[in-house]
Chain A
Amino acid sequence: MSTTFTNFTTFKTLNLNILQNFMAGENKIKYKIFSQVGNEIKFPPNVLEKVNKIIARYPKGKEKSALLPVLHIAQEELGGYLSVDIQDYIARLMNIQPIEVYEVATFYSQYYLDKVGKFVIEVCQTGPCAICGGEDITDYLQEKLHIKNGETTPDGIFTLRQVECLGACGYAPVMQVNTEFYELLTKEKIDRIIEELKARSDEEKPNDSKWVEKFF
């Protein structure tokens, strides 16, 4: 009897996993629409042109220097995170070994290796922010969005991440949403920010970040 019960639970969990994977896959396709031709991972021509300009800023033979900025652009233009396929594409594009991209993509905390929401909320948890109420801010956001640190809301809008020092300690507690800094946070302020972001969640691009424009 008990075996049947366990099996039933496993079956349920499995089913849920399949469902989640399916949903994630669907979102992925949605993301790909504006950045990719067919199924092949590729920068659109206007982006590729800018990427090539960035690569050209570094001395001949040292083009690998452009890897960090190019990965930022890839993350923004190709769906919000760096899948292995995207990393492989960047390796081909920059004429380097895939491992050279993997080791970099896994080292730096701003590259996301898994799917993230449209708005990535990164709350600073280091010393000065922590003593000024940063821990309460994270708790409140977890409660409000019904997700834990590192998770994404089921609608794919918000990802919550606790991060280390954002370098704005005098305006603690702080958080960063995509490229935007929000400072001197209170619970009321969080309520307002979340409302604003929800209202903007239908915009085609995740935010006004536009890394590509920022680099030139």
Chain B
Amino acid sequence: MGRKILLDTIHIPGIKTFDVYSDNGGYSAVEKALKKMTPSEVTEEVKKSGLRGRGGAGFPTGMKWSFLDSHSAQPRYLVCNADESEPGTFKDRYLIDHIPHLLIEGLIVSSYALGTSNTYIYVRGEFKQQIGILNKTIREAYEHGFLGKNILGTPFSLDIVVHAGAGAYICGEETALLESLEGKRGNPRLKPPFPAVKGLYDCPTVVNNVETLASVVPIINIGGDEYAKIGIGRSTGTKLISACGHINNPGVYEIEMGLPVQEFIYSEEYCGGIKDGKQLKALIPGGSSVPILPATLVTYTKSETPRLISYESLSEGGFESGSMLGSGGFIVYSEDDCIVRNTWNFERFYHHESCGQCSPCREGTGWLEKVLYRIEHGFGKSKDIDLLDTIAKKIEGNTICPLGDAAAWPVNSAIRHFRHEFEFHIEHPDLVKNKNHGTFDLVHSA
């Protein structure tokens, strides 16, 4: 289960530079694609690979590419989404920090497949260092003839522009990202029309995550069929998992899809167990927006099969007893963490980050934050728990973009699995006001 295809060369000193990267097999996918394959053959390989979007939604990449309006006379665009801002997720930053040429190589191959000659990388504004790294990397690629006019002597030309955001979570949503790239507020657009038909500057556009585009490189190198053999079922290939919270070894790990969650959290090779020998209380497996799982549902699903890191296994049981792989941001909670406080924290985040277009989200996230604040600080009322549930359900599905859902799910799931913690807060205001959130032996209780 230790196969690495994205980060296999990351330990080599100087892999950030063009020379070392190309000496270690780098840019072979560009050579292969541009010289030996047609653009539709590249797309075909990606389809065969079963690669699914690594940004969170898990939509098949090859299919997304095939939606691109090929009859349009307008220019087409590929936009790389490097606006990584989902709490708990820091894999794209890691990839750019350590092996930036892999992303550029993936972008060149993908742009060739999609027939675009202008490609943008939208990087979140906080990643100023990464913007510097990407610009340096792109400069190197230009110097060596992998970008610019007539790449490797073929008719294919490509320019890549790094575009800086300025601090807005919502710009990770693809249509908000496009608005932001056009120099506007990051207000998501109504879909349809989808970006594949009307995207950047109203032209056909594909928006893909950093990791997705980087994964195109091994797919071309080893072939789509071979890539599809890695992983499990419809979750093919490897996935970067960023692990944080109360674990011994936080960091970014490349895992083969299908790795048991138990092994990932407890083995020395990965997270190394819970910090300070504490017990696991809960896990959020896909960034703050996905439902939280109590310890009892982390390592085994409700049907008592081992929980694996894959799109299917993590969502087994639906929202009743499952969650989602999302962006692969594992947030691990130990027995000392207060779920109410954490849920309040996330709702403050969503309230801050709501763009304000849709009333259910703009107002609802604010209400959720306020009600959670008063529960957390010892001013909760007995009806508040049901009130939270009602507000969350009224946001879900009633907004233009998924931020509303992302704000509602953590609340619904926290109440579903940790209702007694909310009740404790409401029943013991004096203890809560003195920062005693109650210690619960939840770890092995259903």
- A residues touching B (Cβ–Cβ < 8 Å)? 57-59, 62, 64-69, 71-72, 100, 103-104, 107-111, 125-128, 130-132, 163-172, 176, 179, 181, 209, 211, 214-216
| Given contacts A167-B93, A169-B242, A127 and B288 within 8 Å (CB-CB) | yes
Q: Which residues of A contact B250 (CB under 8 A)?
A: 169-172
- CB of A103 within 8 A of CB of B185, answer yes
- CB of B167 within 8 A of CB of A104, answer no
Q: What's the nearest-Cβ distance from chain B to residue A106, in Å?
A: 9
Q: Which residues of B contact A163 (CB under 8 A)?
A: 167
Q: Of all chain A residues, which has the CB nearest B185?
A: A107
- CB of B342 within 8 A of CB of A108, answer no
| Given contacts A65-B182, A127-B331, A167 and B124 within 8 Å (CB-CB) | yes
A66 vs B165: C-alpha distance in the bound complex, in angstroms?
11
Going nearest first, the 6 A-B pairs with the smallest beta carbon separation are A108-B166, A67-B183, A110-B167, A170-B250, A64-B183, A109-B167
- CB of A108 within 8 A of CB of B165, answer yes
Q: Which residues of A contact B181 (CB under 8 A)?
A: 65
| Given contacts A165-B85, A169-B242, A127 and B349 within 8 Å (CB-CB) | yes
| Given contacts A167-B89, A179-B129, A215 and B184 within 8 Å (CB-CB) | no
Chain B binding site: helix, strand, loop or mixed by DSSP? mixed
- B residues touching A (Cβ–Cβ < 8 Å)? 75, 84-90, 93, 118, 124-129, 131-132, 135, 161-169, 180-186, 201, 242-246, 250-252, 288, 329, 331, 333, 337, 341-342, 345-346, 349, 352-353, 355
Choice from A104, A111, A169, A181 contacting B184 with Cβ under 8 Å: A104
- CB of A127 within 8 A of CB of B88, answer yes
- CB of B337 within 8 A of CB of A167, answer no
A107 vs B187: C-alpha distance in the bound complex, in angstroms?
10
A72 vs B245: C-alpha distance in the bound complex, in angstroms?
32
A71 vs B165: C-alpha distance in the bound complex, in angstroms?
10
A214 vs B349: C-alpha distance in the bound complex, in angstroms?
29
- CB of A68 within 8 A of CB of B244, answer no
- CB of B90 within 8 A of CB of A170, answer yes
Q: What's the nearest-Cβ distance from chain A to residue B178, in Å?
A: 10
Choice from B183, B244, B252, B341 contacting A128 with Cβ under 8 Å: B244
Q: Which residues of A contact B246 (CB under 8 A)?
A: 131-132
Query: Can you add 13 more A-B contacts, CB < 8 Å, to A57-B161, A107-B186, A108-B165?
Result: A62-B201, A64-B182, A68-B163, A103-B184, A110-B126, A125-B345, A126-B87, A132-B244, A165-B86, A165-B87, A169-B331, A170-B250, A172-B250
Q: Of all chain A residues, which has the CB nearest B251?
A: A170
Q: Which residues of A contact B127 (CB under 8 A)?
A: 167
A104 vs B355: C-alpha distance in the bound complex, in angstroms?
12
Q: Of all chain B residues, which has the CB nearest A163?
A: B167
- CB of B128 within 8 A of CB of A164, answer no
Q: Which residues of B contact A67 (CB under 8 A)?
A: 183
A210 vs B75: C-alpha distance in the bound complex, in angstroms?
33
- CB of B337 within 8 A of CB of A72, answer no
- CB of B131 within 8 A of CB of A127, answer no
A166 vs B345: C-alpha distance in the bound complex, in angstroms?
15
Q: What's the nearest-Cβ distance from chain A to residue B344, in Å?
A: 10
A167 vs B129: C-alpha distance in the bound complex, in angstroms?
13
Q: What's the nearest-Cβ distance from chain B to residue A3, in Å?
A: 37
Choice from A71, A130, A168, A216 contacting B135 with Cβ under 8 Å: A216
A211 vs B288: C-alpha distance in the bound complex, in angstroms?
31
A127 vs B89: C-alpha distance in the bound complex, in angstroms?
11
- CB of A59 within 8 A of CB of B118, answer yes
- CB of A209 within 8 A of CB of B128, answer yes
Choice from B164, B342, B353 contacting A131 with Cβ under 8 Å: B342
A171 vs B250: C-alpha distance in the bound complex, in angstroms?
7
Q: Which residues of A contact B346 (CB under 8 A)?
A: 126-127
A62 vs B242: C-alpha distance in the bound complex, in angstroms?
36
- CB of B201 within 8 A of CB of A127, answer no
Q: What's the nearest-Cβ distance from chain B to residue A178, in Å?
A: 8
A-B CB contact pairs (8 Å), 19 listed: A62-B201, A64-B183, A65-B183, A72-B125, A103-B185, A107-B186, A108-B168, A109-B166, A109-B167, A126-B288, A131-B333, A164-B349, A167-B124, A167-B126, A168-B90, A168-B93, A169-B90, A169-B250, A172-B244
A96 vs B342: C-alpha distance in the bound complex, in angstroms?
43
Q: Which residues of B contact A132 (CB under 8 A)?
A: 244-246
- CB of B183 within 8 A of CB of A104, answer yes
Q: Which residues of B contact A58 (CB under 8 A)?
A: 161
| Given contacts A128-B244, A169-B90, A164 and B163 within 8 Å (CB-CB) | no
A66 vs B118: C-alpha distance in the bound complex, in angstroms?
15
Q: Of all chain A residues, which has the CB nearest B352?
A: A164
Q: Which residues of B contact A72 (CB under 8 A)?
A: 125, 164, 166
Q: Which residues of B contact A170 (CB under 8 A)?
A: 90, 242-244, 250-252
Q: Of all chain B residues, which has the CB nearest A105?
A: B166
Choice from B86, B126, B352 contacting A166 with Cβ under 8 Å: B126
Choice from A65, A130, A216 contacting B163 with Cβ under 8 Å: A65
Q: What's the nearest-Cβ distance from chain A to residue B55, in Å?
A: 14
- CB of A169 within 8 A of CB of B329, answer yes
Choice from A68, A164, A167 contacting B164 with Cβ under 8 Å: A68
Q: Which residues of A contact B126 (CB under 8 A)?
A: 110, 166-167, 176
- CB of A108 within 8 A of CB of B252, answer no
- CB of A131 within 8 A of CB of B337, answer yes
| Given contacts A62-B182, A164-B352, A172-B244, A128 and B331 within 8 Å (CB-CB) | yes
**Residue with the highest number of chain B CB atoms closer than 10 Å, among A71, A164, A170:** A170
- CB of B87 within 8 A of CB of A127, answer yes
